[in-house]
Amino acid sequence: MESEARTPAVRLWGGRFESGPAEALARLSVSVQFDWRLAPYDLLASKAHARVLHRAGLLSDVELRRLLGALDELAVDCRSGAFRPTAADEDVHTALERGLLERLGSLGGKLRAGRSRNDQVATDLRLYLRDHVRQVAARLVELQTALMDQAASHLTDPATPAPGLTHTQHAQPVLLAHQLLAHVHAFARDVARLRDWDKRAAISPLGAGALAGSSLPLDPKAVAAELGFDSAAPNSMDAVADRDFAAEFCFAAALSGVHLSRLGEEVVLWTSHEFGWAEIDDAYASGSSIMPQKKNADVAELARGKAGRLIGGLTGLLTMLKGLPLTYNRDLQEDKEPVFDAVDTLLLVLPAMAGLVSSMRFHRQRLSRAAAAGHALATDLAELLVKRGVPFREAHEAVGHLVIWCEVHDCELGEVGDEDLVKVSPHLTPDVRGVLSVPGALAARDTYGSTAPARVEAQLAELRSVVQSDAVWAATG
């Protein structure tokens, strides 16, 4: 920010006040250091507002042309950095009004008719977010694609099995692809949530003025259409007081953060020495300044850690909103930082996680060996007995006894000899050993949504088409 204003600070309410603001008030009020990123959206909204003032007969043809020209010029100068806020600008709106006054003199002041910073800021933030949720969705799609490509590469014959865990204990074998796709489903819901959010956010507050609408013959619906909104706000008070769109976005972002964190936690486990399921590519791993052998999953850990700030942002925003009477209150200025931080955080974490996932190498052999460990085929054995007419209760108990036998003799279920099997339970005839194979167990789980290879392939095909349509939405909006 420049330290000195080229023109005196724009005071929006100079007429009513005899003295200027105290230094402490000015320092507390200022938001331009974080709301400057709304500048392109503020300028777009200003152009739409200028056209409406012109149609209302409040600007002549020449005035409109000059205003639009100056707004375009300002947009270019903002992009290049030729125009920047100064220390004396309170917020993005006052900074841009100064820019307009510098270029047009008093004509620049005409744009404020029928408009308040209250409807302006609500409009700008909606425009900013509608733009950026598409960027976030595009990055989510890239992460989903990385996960789906990994899944596809582990579906080729023979598909890679993995130990399926509950309570972080071996439970039943699954396909590695099935587990990777479970994460894709979570991210698909995240994108669906953003798309759904966008429908509710597509309402334009501009025209609400400070709170009560306008006595000038403005046309909020025309402004809404010009700015790409679906409709104009039907209640001017709600228009300036509502921040549901910001809170809902922060929730969607926080939940994506939670999903990223859970995936991050899995990567940390998978790449630990104890699991040894996968290795992180050097490009996405960090070393240690003291321990030469270290290869750490910092990307995954940062993804896990940053979920905290996303949840914190949401909590802060909701807490700020909860006690506010209608309509605008200055507290609302606090809405922007959590929103911006959520966008920045996701745009930072998502590409790193996509790169981490796509470059990670899974150890097929180790996963295959681990898939049956921990007596993970016990359920298959019990279900076989059920198919033979044994009540599940008895089957469960018989296999439970067999597990104890194996623990005592330090062997796997399939390694128990014929005589010992029947000794443990008369239900356990030697042929039950036939189901004690991981590929057999996987193929048998063939109902909709299960982990059989054919089911997982169909699941992947379905997901690819969902993700493809989300990618189109993110690109075109």
Binding part of the chain for ligand ARG, among 117-125, 247-255, 282-290, 414-422 by CB under 6 A, reads 117-125
Which one, 56 or 211, has the nearer CB to ligand ARG?
A: 211
- Site membership for ligand ARG, residue 117 (CB under 6 A): yes
CB of 97: closest distance to ligand ARG in angstroms? 12
| Among residues 39, 41, 50, 91, the one that binds ligand ARG under rule CB under 6 A | 91
Tokens of 263: 């995936």
Q: Across the strands, what pairs with 172?
A: 164
| Among residues 31, 179, 261, 368, the one that binds ligand ARG under rule CB under 6 A | 31
Which one, 42 or 266, has the nearer CB to ligand ARG?
A: 42
Binding part of the chain for ligand ARG, among 115-123, 217-225, 316-324, 388-396 by CB under 6 A, reads 115-123
User: d(Cα 215, Cα 3) in Å, to the nearest integer?
Assistant: 39
Residue among 167, 215, 273, 465 flagged as catalytic: 167
Which helix (H) or strand (E) segment is 5 a member of?
Answer: none
How many residues of this chain bind ligand ARG (CB under 6 A)? Answer: 10
CB of 333: closest distance to ligand ARG in angstroms? 4
CB of 38: closest distance to ligand ARG in angstroms? 9
Cβ(304)–Cβ(334) under 8 Å? no
- Site membership for ligand ARG, residue 345 (CB under 6 A): no
| Among residues 85, 111, 118, 203, the one that binds ligand ARG under rule CB under 6 A | 118
| Among residues 75, 121, 146, 302, the one that binds ligand ARG under rule CB under 6 A | 121
Q: Are strands 231-232 and 203-204 parallel, antiparallel or unpaired?
A: parallel
Residue window 33-72: x/- pattern of binding to ligand ARG, with contact defined by CB under 6 A: --x-------------------------------------
Tokens of 72: 């375009």
Q: Are strands 231-232 and 169-175 parallel, antiparallel or unpaired?
A: unpaired
Cβ(86)–Cβ(5) under 8 Å? yes
CB of 31: closest distance to ligand ARG in angstroms? 5
Cβ(188)–Cβ(391) under 8 Å? no
CB of 116: closest distance to ligand ARG in angstroms? 7
What is the DSSP code string of 313-326?
A: HHHHHHHHHTTPPS
Cα dihedral sign, 382-385-387-390? negative
Cβ(220)–Cβ(230) under 8 Å? no
If we measure between CA atoms, which residue out of 82, 88, 52, 84 comes closest to residue 67?
52
CB of 91: closest distance to ligand ARG in angstroms? 4
User: d(Cα 4, Cα 6) in Å, to the nearest integer?
Assistant: 6
Is 288 one of the catalytic residues?
A: yes
User: d(Cα 188, Cα 176) in Å, to the nearest integer?
Assistant: 19
Site for ligand ARG in 319-338 (CB under 6 A): 328, 330, 332-333
Mapped to the 3 state alphabet, what secondary structure does 30-65 carry?
CCHHHHHHHHHHHHHHHHHHHHHHHHCCCCCHHHHH
Which one, 34 or 362, has the nearer CB to ligand ARG?
A: 34
Which one, 70 or 339, has the nearer CB to ligand ARG?
A: 339
Torsion of CA 269, 273, 274, 279, to 10 degrees: 50
Is 286 one of the catalytic residues?
A: no
Residue window 380-399: x/- pattern of binding to ligand ARG, with contact defined by CB under 6 A: --------------------
CB of 361: closest distance to ligand ARG in angstroms? 48
Contacts of 350 (CB under 8 A, 6+ apart): 136, 139, 140, 142, 143, 260
| Residues involved in catalysis | 167, 288
* Binding residues vs ligand ARG (CB under 6 A): 31, 35, 91, 117-118, 121, 328, 330, 332-333
